[in-house]
Every structure is written in structure tokens, then in C-alpha cells.
Amino acid sequence: MQVEPIRWRGDSLELLDQRRLPREVVWMTCRTAAEVADAIRDMVVRGAPAIGVSAAFGLALASLRGDDIPTAAALLRSARPTAVNLGWAIDRMLQSDDFVAEAQRIREEDLAANRHLGRLGAELLGGNATVLTHCNAGALATAGYGTALGIIRAAVEGGKRIAVFADETRPYLQGARLTSWELQQEGIDVTLITDNMSGHFFQQGTFDAVIVGADRIAANGDAANKIGTYTVAVLAKVHGVPFYVAAPWSTVDLACPNGAAIPIEERSAREVTEMFGTPIAPEGVAVRHPAFDVTPAALITAIITERGVMRAPFAESIAEAAR
């Protein structure tokens, strides 16, 4: 089954409700930009490219309804702070004079970018490889096909035998709920582990590579991704396992000099203290919930975009790819 999380219906946007996967496959219909902004904030749709595409269609809805575009754009832009794809898609829409056509182009280009970077990344994997991934950088997180999981798809399509280990990804469980589901849909070999098990498997020599997505890549190669990615990158470095970041070029923020300048979203404490509405911690306990962390460029083996495979020194390889 080809997973695609976003459907444009001409006068409405349908989003596969990722809060309810894998238990239920339910679509949510959005008819206004405000509804799309809520869906992004509540993580009905999530993943950097997917929220960019959704915001683009949110502006398309606003233009069809004759709503105030600057207000709609501001609402969508403020939905989540870390993924640069959101602002990138909105800026691109605001330069267009046909919002529906432009949103469709953004979606198609994302799909094409994923397929292209998937092929480039697949070449980095051996014929028989076990790959660790964190969070969900798959079809569900993009217009379709995926970035980190796109590489895995392309490798499998190319005849390679790839086994995937998926970190559960506390607290929102994108790995347990989404990556496991998505890979199962396509019959790709997936093993689910909790986040605190990966060190053990690194020690056992289980992984040939780590592949993750990104929400924003700074000009020096520092990359923000789901909380816990940095921990995995440190483990990969210690164990000599290549650590790859896969993302469309729209995730590269040339205006952001380094990881310290990337805004890190702080989400609700309840996502930490509760599981599916059930409290798992004492009431009133202090909680922190940064939703992303930054992996320094020094821990990254290569960044794979549709513009090519970039390696250290990243400031130079990214500047070169930007030309």
C-alpha cells in the first residue's frame, strides 16, 4: 500500500489523522486555514515536509474562500516553530498568483525530491543492512515516500535486503505507532525497540547505519530532529556507525548559521505525564518537553538531499549545493 497522508479535494483538505494510527485509519477534513493550523499544532499531520505541504493547501483554502491571506499565513506560520518547511512553504505560496496550483506543485516537488534523495541514499547502504531510525521520517511525514524511510524504500526496491530497527520515540511514539505501521504496510522488515534499548544494540554490532530525517538543517550542517536523535548520533559516533540525515532541500535553512539558532518547540507537559489520556506520573511533577534536539554537524556522516550527498566540511558542501 502506498501511504499518502494528504489529499486535496478541490475545496477541502483531507489529512490522515496520525494521532489515531495505527488503531484507526481516519481522515480529518479541513475547510479553512484555521482548521489546518489546528491540525498542524495538534499533530493530526506532522513531519516537516508534510506540515509545509498542509500549510500550502491551508493558504489555498483561504484564497478560495476569499479570507484574509496575511492573517491566514500568520496563523499557519505560528502553528509549530522548528520545521523550517512550514515557513518555507508559506513564503513560497505568498509569491504565487495561483495558490491551488502552487500548493499542488509544492506537494509534487516534495514527492519527487523524496524519490530522488531515496535513490541517492540507497547507494550508501550495503546489499544486506540493518538500519536504525528514530521518529517517523516516512511517507506519513512528507507528501509521500519519505526521506529516511524513502532511502530504505528505494534500497528495498533496488533489491537490497534491509532490516529496520525503529525507536519507539517517546513521548509521542512516532516510531511505535507510525514507522512500524508504515513499514508493515509495505512488507519491509521492521523491529520495534524502546528508545533506551538502542545503546545495547549498538554494543552488539546490530546496526550498519542510522538514518533519520530533519526539521531544520543550519548552514553549518547542524540538524534539528525529533528529541532523542542527538543521543542516537552520539551512540553512532562512539560505535563507528555511519549517521545519515535525509531531508529535502526545503529543510535546509541557509539563513540559520548553526544549531544554536534553531528554535526548539516546547510541547505540553501532558504529552509526557499521560499516555493516551491516562496519567503515568504524579500530579504536579515538574516536566520538561523539548520536542526536538540538535545534532551537531560533527556527528553527521552525510546529509542526503535531492541536490546530492553532502559531507564535511558541511558549510562548504551546503554552500556548494545552494548554488
Q: Look up 215 and say whether it is catalytic.
A: yes
Cell 551512540 -> residue:
235
Q: How many chain residues interact with ligand MRU (CB under 6 A)? A: 17
Q: Are strands 308-310 and 302-305 parallel, antiparallel or unpaired?
A: antiparallel
With CB atoms as reference, the residue minimizing the distance to ligand MRU is 213
Which 75-104 residues touch ligand MRU, going by CB under 6 A? 83
Least spacing, CB of residue 47 vs ligand MRU, in Å: 4
> Is the sign of the CA dihedral 74, 80, 82, 88 positive or negative?
negative
> Binding to ligand MRU by residue 109, rule CB under 6 A?
no
Contact predicate 221/289, CB 8 Å: no
> Binding to ligand MRU by residue 142, rule CB under 6 A?
yes
Contact predicate 98/60, CB 8 Å: no
Contact predicate 182/138, CB 8 Å: yes
Q: Is 140 exposed, middle or buried (0-12, 13-18, 19+ CB in 10 A)?
A: buried
> Considering only 30-38, 123-131, 135-143, 154-162, which stretch makes contact with ligand MRU by CB under 6 A?
135-143
> Binding to ligand MRU by residue 52, rule CB under 6 A?
no
Cross-strand pairs, 278: 275
Q: Which of 215, 222, 253, 293 is catalytic?
A: 215
Rule CB under 6 A: choose which of 54, 63, 147, 301 binds ligand MRU: 147
Number of neighbouring beta carbons within 10 Å of residue 79: 19
For 202, list phi and psi in degrees, rounded to 5: -60, -45
> Binding to ligand MRU by residue 164, rule CB under 6 A?
no
Measure the CA–CA gap between 207 and 242, rounded to whole angstroms.
Answer: 9
User: Between residues 42 and 67, which has the closer beta carbon with respect to ligand MRU?
Assistant: 42
> Binding to ligand MRU by residue 291, rule CB under 6 A?
yes
User: Between residues 189 and 265, which has the closer beta carbon with respect to ligand MRU?
Assistant: 265
Measure the CA–CA gap between 290 and 269, rounded to whole angstroms.
Answer: 10
Least spacing, CB of residue 281 vs ligand MRU, in Å: 21
> Binding to ligand MRU by residue 133, rule CB under 6 A?
no
Which 228-287 residues touch ligand MRU, going by CB under 6 A? none
List, by residue number, the catalytic residues.
215
Binding-site ranges for ligand MRU (CB under 6 A): 46-49, 83, 135, 137, 141-142, 147, 174, 213-215, 225-226, 291
